[in-house]
Amino acid sequence: MVQVKTCTKCKGKKPITEFSKNRGKSKDDLHPWCKTCLHERGAAAYAYGEAFAYKYLGAKCTYPGCAQDDWDMLQCHHVGQRDHGITHLYDATVARLIAELNKCVLLCSNHHSKTHALQKRAANEAQYQKFQVIPFPAKHRSVKAPSRSRGINSPERSRELRSGAACR
């Protein structure tokens, strides 16, 4: 005989295989909600967190001269030390999400890739010079990495972009 349990969310009677384990939290060590209801709750929380993050960061690319505002093309870029990935916090508390978003700026996918490539190139060129290995070809030396003092990755620049002072 198949054991059944009633989901406290949807009130449906389902086999116990449709419930996630929840050790120590209930008598039967199963979550009170079925897996379907848990998935729906998680998907809704993720969608809300994602929308909140993009609105909080200004909902457009902050790279100078770019006006991309298509949400599908925007990505969070950590300016300083990151504690967590943003997508892992979309269903966390708003306070934890805001704490991590304060370390980020929004960039379109092209400028996000370009920013990381410039950072990597600058780090590799410094290593090559340090160990006197073959330097980068001339075409790579002409591309400049963002300035540390007021570049796209500086904390001052990210605060300025979030406050809207850079757009005035």
Per-residue pLDDT reduced to its tens digit, 112-133 = 999 888 888 887 877 777 666 5
Burial class (CB in 10 A: 0-12, 13-18, 19+), 49: buried
The DSSP string of 75-91 is: EEEE-S--SS-GGGGTT
Share of the chain above pLDDT 70, in %: 76
Task: Share the mean pLDDT of the chain.
Answer: 80
Per-residue pLDDT reduced to its tens digit, 50-73 = 888 889 999 999 999 998 988 888
CB 53 within 8 A of CB 97: yes
Residue with tokens 């009633």: 6
Phi, psi of 106 (to 5 degrees): -90, 135
**In angstroms, rounded to a whole number, what is the distance separating the alpha carbons of residues 30 and 8?**
12
Please report which confidence band the pLDDT of residue 84 belongs to, taking 50, 70 and 90 as the band edges.
confident
Considering only 59-63, 75-79, 157-161, which range has the smallest mean pLDDT? 157-161
Q: Is the model's pTM score more than 0.85?
A: no
